[in-house]
Structure 1
Amino acid sequence: MLPTPPLVTGWLGVCHHLLLAFSLVVAVYLKDSWWATEDVLRTSDPAREGLVKVQSFGERIVLFVLNVVIFGRLERNLDDDAMFFLPHSGKEEAKILWRDGAAVGFYTTKAKGSLCGDGTGTCYLLPVLDTVFVRRRHRGQGLGVAMLRDFCETFPDDEALGVSWPISPAMYQVCRKFLLAHPEERARLWEVEPPGAWGQRGSIWLKVQLQQAGLPAPESA
């Protein structure tokens, strides 16, 4: 049995504790009790269904568990160093995907005008879809496409939207399916490196067309 730590009262404290027990994470200590990770991801609120914007401290905990514990430790190929999401800051915009009372995925965005990173004065020039995750047993059901569609619908007035470079093979397939079904979005969806200037953008639709024609796609944005 894991020893009971002092009551964790802050977001950084929760993160710190989980990271200390990273190889053994099976529970999270909240409100004087241990909670199994699967229980942390459940809700009794019937209003939580579909994509819900992360706003509360509790939702930040759910986002952290999905990202660092479920994806980072349990459902990621640990040999794939290219696929790893850092813990999201409290200022990062995110939505959690809820289905039948459980959190099954999430996506995060970099807002237009937000800083590209600590210690830099450079800001993103367009909204950017930064991370997307769907739990293994819920994949193959179009949820990734649904999250990409929600991202695009959230910014109807922006002429250009970004997806963070490099796009993984799985995310590329999501983009391909989405753009084949939504031709109106083909001209404004770009693979981007921060901050997203024109020289840092690559057309995702062009990449789809080149691959369909059996031609080599551009290597980077």
Structure 2
Amino acid sequence: MKFVLKQTVVAVYLKGSWWSTEDVLRTSDPTREGLMKVQSFGERIVLFILNVVIFGRSERNLDDDDMFFLPHSMKEQAKILWRHGAAVGFYTTKMKGSLCGNGTGACYLLPVFDTVFIRRKQRRQGLGTAMLRDFCDTFQEEEALGVSSPISPAMFQVCRQFLSACAEERGRLWEVEPPGAWGQRINIWLKIQLQQASVPDRE
């Protein structure tokens, strides 16, 4: 796989041909709609383009033009969000029992909602909340679930909206640092309540 680089990546060389990045993200398969687990090599390429090219360069302001985001490990679970024949976002999960990183023997003690991305044109449509709901539904048997720390302001708003609507998830969703021991967890709903309590009422 090769890239044409200017200020942004405009084309990708795949299977003997050059493809625009937008073409790589399209699909003619009508069954690809909604959140779907990444399984095939082709889906890994789509994830790579969304993560490294779109998220890493095209739709992110960078101080350093040489900066890239590392592709996700093959061992990391990911789901791509398909809408109207195109990949428009993704989220990844650090699986319980997986290594926290190279050079460490520590493993995650709970599933962790890690990287989340939605393309700019698709934002403010409840898709982030849908991803978080899907994550929680995927691990219904787990007593505790994590969201990677630090939580961005946008992700914190997603958590607020989700937990306001889903009271049953308030006790098991935690902001965590790896590997997610109890001393490395903060209950997200409690954090939301404390933040609200610290804001003075406006009359």
Q: Under a length normalisation based on structure 2, what TM-score does the superposition of the two structures give?
A: 0.92
Correspondence 1:1-221 to 2 at 5 A:
14=1, 17-18=2-3, 21=5, 23-79=7-63, 85-214=69-198
Higher strand residue share: 2
Same amino acid, percent of matched pairs: 79
Q: 1:127 and 1:85, CA in 2 relative to 1: closer, same or farther beyond 3 A?
A: farther
How far off is 1:214 after superposition? Answer: 2.1
Q: 1:53 and 1:22, CA in 2 relative to 1: closer, same or farther beyond 3 A?
A: farther
How many residue pairs align between the two structures? Answer: 196
In 2: Cα distance, 1:77 partner to 1:24 partner: 11
Unaligned runs of 5+ in 2: none
Deviations 1:76-99 (A, max 9, x none): 13249xxx8532111110000000
Q: 1:62 and 1:78, CA in 2 relative to 1: closer, same or farther beyond 3 A?
A: same
Unaligned runs of 5+ in 1: 1-13, 216-221
8 Å Cα contact 1:85-1:131 kept in structure 2: no
Deviations 1:61-115 (A, max 9, x none): 10011011111101113249xxx85321111100000000000000000000001
Deviations 1:46-65 (A, max 9, x none): 11000000000100110011
Q: Under a length normalisation based on structure 1, what TM-score does the superposition of the two structures give?
A: 0.85
| Paired letter, 1:177 | Q
Deviations 1:107-128 (A, max 9, x none): 0000000011112111000000
Q: How large is the RMSD of aligned CA atoms in angstroms?
A: 1.6
In 1: Cα distance, 2:6 partner to 2:37 partner: 27
